[in-house]
Structure 1
């Protein structure tokens, strides 16, 4: 296949969207979410508070076993637009929109029909971990899935263009997946193996220009890779979540991990599978008994999913991980609606099932809007309301009245991140930050939930050269905005400048 002239596939996005209702819906949907949720939000939840704590701190890596891409983008956006919930939502929903759009254009560049691409894109709303959890609370999973969607688009474009430009962007796309979430490596492995398994794509991947893909990829991930090697404690901070070797039995822990992979893989795509089955059954009279042979694009999408899942299977087998959560499969299975749409397009004569699949996806997305609003305003976490509903303005006023401070130190990001919304000049410090102690500048506010002295806060205090907390540790009860009869107790003290 000869190279085609350089042409960025999203250059005419507005023009294309005006002729494609599905794309226009995606753009309007996520733009609305940015402004609507900014308007009704009181404060940040745990994951968003973590991002608020890091805004402005561009570095090669961060704490909590997380890859840096999402935090980089938040940090740059915060520097340009200011630290606010609007910026946090703009980054999240902007990345979500780009992942949906990347799936659509990637499918089109591979040669799949407009109907299949649109249904595959809107069908992502049938994946609860993306349609609901990603909008409600997740951050790095959004970054990982978006990075993989960019890699999918870049791969499709490189197969079409085969130019130096597309090779560079493919290298960056692959890097963005890995830098978005480390478990995205399973999808990237599947993507590359699927590409090499198809002769036409293998030819493109083995072209001399594709050396640039590898060089750009290595150059892009090398600084973070080197940082990670020198901060292994941060990389492994949450490795306990995988329950590696849980129970002490070599075989049982692996069997349990593979079972969780199968179960959560089915559950992850369960709603999409149900509506696919309904569309398939309703169109059984229109099914094609002798379909055409599979084309390269169809083989590629199917094999990417197959090889990615196989990579996870091998990873669980080698590591002995007994836990595989459904949200961890986001970067692996986000193309499953596209694959299901592709099957409907292959085996059924009319586009009606595809339209139904797309419409149901769109309806599910629209239903999320009021559901998410109710969740932000009134959701409860067990017996307590959502932590984002706390009156952080009162906490800020009370602590400022107690004295001045330039650093807020806590065991987690929740309090420092939300206080930073009220004063952008605050320097947040929490336990999972790399080199947390060295970030503390006095005067500093030490703050935590509960009454007794928090061990993590005490450790940070001691690390900063203060032998013991002051005797006058204060407490304040802060209420929940929509549950004023309930409150959370917060302890705090200020250490003056040395």
Structure 2
């Protein structure tokens, strides 16, 4: 029996590069970002600090109106790789890489050509909210969009496989989107409605195997749903940002919300639309009228976007939300570059426009690398340098010199999360955590920005049984790593075991 030749890793990479250059680019891109940003970063920003504060605590829900998927993944990664910035970046960019790959895989499973799938995948870099904001600061929005991409991939696989396994995975994929962030529900509604609107897919969705889809979905979301019902204050903690019925204006608030949906929808996909229009115009001499109609996959793709946007429209109309931010549309419109690529591939005879669309997307992604590095190191936010550049090491050394503590308590996650980078055994507590005061264990460090008393921190002290406000509060001035002339005041007190 002849031996089966094994491909060398280098040969495997060469094969991947020749057959799927877009996939190789995406994987290398995000791997580089993990290493590069770990090297240049000093500490965590607000969103990442919140994740550091929760790492290691696997719960059915957390504070701040956010579902738990992203935090679950961070917690597991923290247990495996340790609580450090490299882990934070590994989770974020690993999820973003899986988002891009899921777009490609879903497109291929729906029957689209490799050139269309690759252009649609790399074209996601033409969406600034994903290419820029998701890399710069966002967390739960990354989880929501990635979860929706998993659901898209699972749907496409189920339509092709039609097996019990694929049916169950579709339920888990839909659950992942909803557990990523609640606004993913609009895309998931669009996904199901679009599937039901295509006869071939409707037959699959209405088959007996869909019982497994429903079972997997409810098994995944029910514990968190029950947790949310019992913690409504935490669930609705940030509902004010929707500006529902702002100023008591029933009609005006809805009109304003629909206008923001239209405006931010156009802005969200604006860069992709511009380069699509350029490619379409430059290739007008090669435009064709296809002999065959749209395939089921192509029809489904267009209807997903249409029904998802319609779901948002109805949601704004019913709720009276006057604010629809562009980042909230991430899980709704992340497939728009794939749809544009599908149009180029269908109505233009040559693949040149698709290649140009992909190349521009790749160039936009590459441009983000140096710009993001400069932003992390030198950008100002609210009139001050980035909060992640504070000298948290100095704060940790000063507080440890004042005494032993096992818990770090503050009015926000910024300080507890970053102090945990220096001692993974610390238990961070901040006011958005459910039952925050009951979680405090002494000895405890109470710390906050500014020199004036902090009423939120004082409330947490009282809730933990500290009836007499401490008088030995200390103050420290922290500098910024790349702006040593800029400083920020921090107050703290260590309260011993009781």
Distance (Å, rounded) in 2 between the aligned partners of 1:62 and 1:78: 17
Q: Which residue of 1 aligns with 2:3?
A: none
The equivalent residue for 1:136 is 136
Q: Distance in 1 between matches of 2:348 and 2:152?
A: 26
Give the aligned length.
487
Q: Distance in 2 between matches of 1:167 and 1:14?
A: 34
- Whether the 8 Å CA contact 1:154–1:169 is kept in 2: the answer is yes
The 1-side partners of 2:318 and 2:227 are apart by 25
Alpha-carbon distance in structure 1 between the residues aligned to 2:314 and 2:66: 22
Q: Distance in 1 between matches of 2:385 and 2:18?
A: 42
1:35-54 to structure 2, matched below 5 A, reads 35-54=35-54
- Asked whether the equivalents of residues 405 and 443 of structure 2 are also in contact (C-alpha less than 8 Å), the reply is yes
Counterpart for residue 194 of structure 1: 194
1:307 alignment partner in structure 2 = 307
3-state DSSP class of the match of 1:497?
coil
How far, CA to CA, are the matches of 2:453 and 2:288 in structure 1? Answer: 69
Aligned to 2:487: 487
Shift of 1:127: 0.3
Q: CA deviation at 1:19?
A: 2.1
* Counterparts in 2 of 1:248 and 1:217: CA distance versus 1, 3 Å: same
In the alignment, which residue of structure 2 is the partner of 1:57?
A: 57
Alpha-carbon contact 1:242-1:324 (below 8 Å) kept: yes
Displacement of 1:430 in angstroms is 0.1
- 1:289-308 equivalences under 5 Å are 289=289, 292-308=292-308
SS at 1:31 equivalent: helix
Contact 1:18 1:24 in 2 (8 A): no
**Superposed counterparts of 1:200-349, under 5 Å:** 200-289=200-289, 292-349=292-349
Q: TM-score, normalised by structure 2?
A: 0.97
The 5 Å alignment of 1:133-172 reads 133-172=133-172
Bigger drift between 303-312 and 376-385 goes to 376-385
CA distance in 2 between partners of 1:438 and 1:18 (Å): 57
SS in 2 for 1:208: coil
Structure 2 unaligned residues grouped into runs of 5+: 1-11
Deviations 1:359-387 (A, max 9, x none): 00000000001111111111111320000
Contact 2:186 2:311 in 1 (8 A): yes
Cα distance in structure 1, aligned partners of 2:145 and 2:72: 16
Give the SS at the match of 1:247.
helix
Q: Which residue of 1 aligns with 2:412?
A: 412
SS in 2 for 1:446: strand
The CA RMSD over aligned residues, in Å, is 1.2
Q: How does 1:364-383 map to 2 (within 5 A)?
A: 364-383=364-383
Residue of structure 1 equivalent to 2:389: 389
| Aligned position for 2:94 | 94
Superposed displacement of residue 289, structure 1 = 3.9
Say which SS state the counterpart of residue 492 (structure 1) adopts. strand
Q: CA deviation at 1:221?
A: 0.3
Q: Deviation of residue 15 (structure 1)?
A: 6.4
Contact 1:461/1:468 (<8 A) preserved: no
Q: Check the 8 A contact 2:290/2:346 in 1, yes or no.
A: no
1:359 and 2:377 matched: no
Q: Greater CA deviation, 461-470 or 411-420?
A: 461-470
**Unaligned residue ranges in structure 1 (runs of 5+):** 1-11
- Distance in 1 separating the partners of 2:190 and 2:290: 29
**CA distance in structure 1 between the partners assigned to 2:271 and 2:235 by the alignment:** 33
Q: Specify the alignment match of 1:185 in structure 2.
A: 185
1:470 shift after superposition: 1.0
Deviations along 1:137-156, one digit per CA (max 9) or x if unpaired, are: 00000000000000000000
Give the equivalent residue in structure 2 for 1:5: none
Distance 1:22 1:169 in 2: 26
CA distance in 2, matches of 1:17, 1:300: 30
